[in-house]
Amino acid sequence: MKIPLSRVYIDDVIKQRILAAVDSENYILGKESKAFEEELATYTGTKHCVLSSNWTSAVQLLMLALGVKPGDEILVPSHTAFPSIEPIVHAGAKPVFVDVDETYTVNVDEMAAKVTSRTVGMIPVHLYGHPANMDALLALAQKKNLFLLEDCAQAHGATCNGKRVGSMGRFGAFSFFPSKNLTVFGDGGCLTTNDTAIADKVKMLRNHGRKDKYLHEMVGFNMRFNEIQASVGREQLKHLDDFNARRRQAVAWYRQRLAGAPVQLPVERPGCVPVYHMFVVQVDRRDELAKFLKEKGISTGMHYPVPNHKQPAMTSLYKDLPVLPVTERLVDRILSLPIFPLLKEEEVDYVCQQIKAFFKV
Ligand SMILES: Cc1ncc(COP(=O)(O)O)c(C=O)c1O
């Protein structure tokens, strides 16, 4: 058997929608993009959704719209994809790295302890599809008057006490990179918010600062979205809830079959419904197990083996980086197992059999 880590969903309806977008002869920020924005806002439960070229560009535009500037500090977990950090640095602000809790999301007590007079905002990450501790984060953001941007790149459709991620903080940002829970066939991303003034500003900034075709109110960028990807995204959105349920079913199969094996399974915070963008376990002899599984045709991943506060790009910029014991221990133990909506029960069986064979249990 050959089992990939993830697999993009493609069907004939999506292919036809792509051809229809080509035939429309309207390629950038047209009807499809507008409809996708409206559908995403409705799905998430926000007033506005602003599409952009990817998550990173959407957040870069947001930092500009908010006026984030050199000297500002933004709280962010170190244990996340490197792009979570980049827009902070591009805005001239400093990322203040925080450790994670047992759900791999940011430790809110530690975050609270790291607020200073320079702190302007926080970017909790719903890592692997598991919502961060939103009640505690919202209380902290309110108490200290900080903006809260939810990094939802890995968590489309996840909920916390019945509310979808991307609708609880002042802002949410999503990625449609082709391994995510909601994908297009290329790069893509968006910002969600109820803040009309910021949404309007981000819309202008993504399109050369244009107010209308020939009037530029500010100096902006080309970080627009296109009609072909919007037509794909709209079809994929129709499947999102079903696909998230299938991911959760696959996790249930894994949990059942790995019970008793020397594998630390993910924990779920009460009130949260994670959507398992990744299924990450912790094991001893992680690298040996990954190699063994590869020989058996099973792809695995490590998300992420080098924490961001130890990345060369950060150690060369900042001299006062923290020690983060939980993050620094887990990066050597985490292994991402195959997960995608159409993963079959017999494929999960095979992966678990091989893990048990490796550990001789
Ligand atoms: C947690 C997280 N944040 C941000 C990003 C960046 O998304 P994009 O590639 O769309 O810019 C990613 C994607 O890799 C991610 O996983």
Residue 1 within a domain: no
* CA 173 / ligand 1 centre spacing (Å): 9
Residue 5 within a domain: no
Q: How far, in Å, are 69, 148, 215 from residue 63 at the CA level? A: 8, 12, 23
pLDDT at 240: 98
Residue 297 within a domain: yes
Asked if 214 and 337 sit in the same domain, the reply is no
* Global pTM value: 0.98
At 186, is the secondary structure helix, strand, or coil?
A: coil
Q: Which atom of ligand 1 is nearest to the CA of 176?
A: 10
Residue 4 within a domain: no
* CA 24 / ligand 1 centre spacing (Å): 30
The enclosing domain of 263 has a CATH number of 3.90.1150.10
Asked if 162 and 310 sit in the same domain, the reply is no
Domain boundary among 234, 262, 281: 234
Kindly give the confidence (pLDDT) of every residue in the chain, 361 residues in length, as a single tens digit, with 9 standing for 90 and above. 999 999 999 999 999 999 999 999 999 999 999 999 999 999 999 999 999 999 999 999 999 999 999 999 999 999 999 999 999 999 999 999 999 999 999 999 999 999 999 999 999 999 999 999 999 999 999 999 999 999 999 999 999 999 999 999 999 999 999 999 999 999 999 999 999 999 999 999 999 999 899 999 999 999 999 999 999 999 999 999 999 999 999 999 999 999 999 999 999 999 999 999 999 999 999 999 999 999 999 999 999 999 999 999 999 999 999 999 999 999 999 999 999 999 999 999 999 999 999 999 9
Q: How many domains does the chain have?
A: 2
Asked if 121 and 190 sit in the same domain, the reply is yes
Residue nearest to atom 7 of ligand 1 (CA): 55
The boundaries of the domain holding residue 97 are 12-234
The pLDDT tens digits of the residues spanning 45-92 come to 999 999 999 999 999 999 999 999 999 999 999 999 999 999 999 999
Residue nearest to atom 8 of ligand 1 (CA): 55
At 156, is the secondary structure helix, strand, or coil?
A: coil
Alpha-carbon distance 25 to 43, whole Å? Answer: 28
Asked if 117 and 245 sit in the same domain, the reply is no
Q: Which atom of ligand 1 is nearest to the CA of 58?
A: 11
Q: In the sheet that 159-160 helps form, which strands lie side by side, from edge to edge?
A: 163-164, 159-160, 272-273
pLDDT at 227: 98
Asked if 298 and 191 sit in the same domain, the reply is no
Residue 299 within a domain: yes
60, 201 contact by CB (below 8 A): no
List pocket residues of ligand 1, CB cut-off 6 Å: 54-56, 80-81, 83-84, 125, 151, 153-154, 175, 177, 187, 189
The enclosing domain of 214 has a CATH number of 3.40.640.10
Distance in Å from the first CA to the final CA of the chain:
21
Q: Which atom of ligand 1 is nearest to the CA of 80?
A: 1
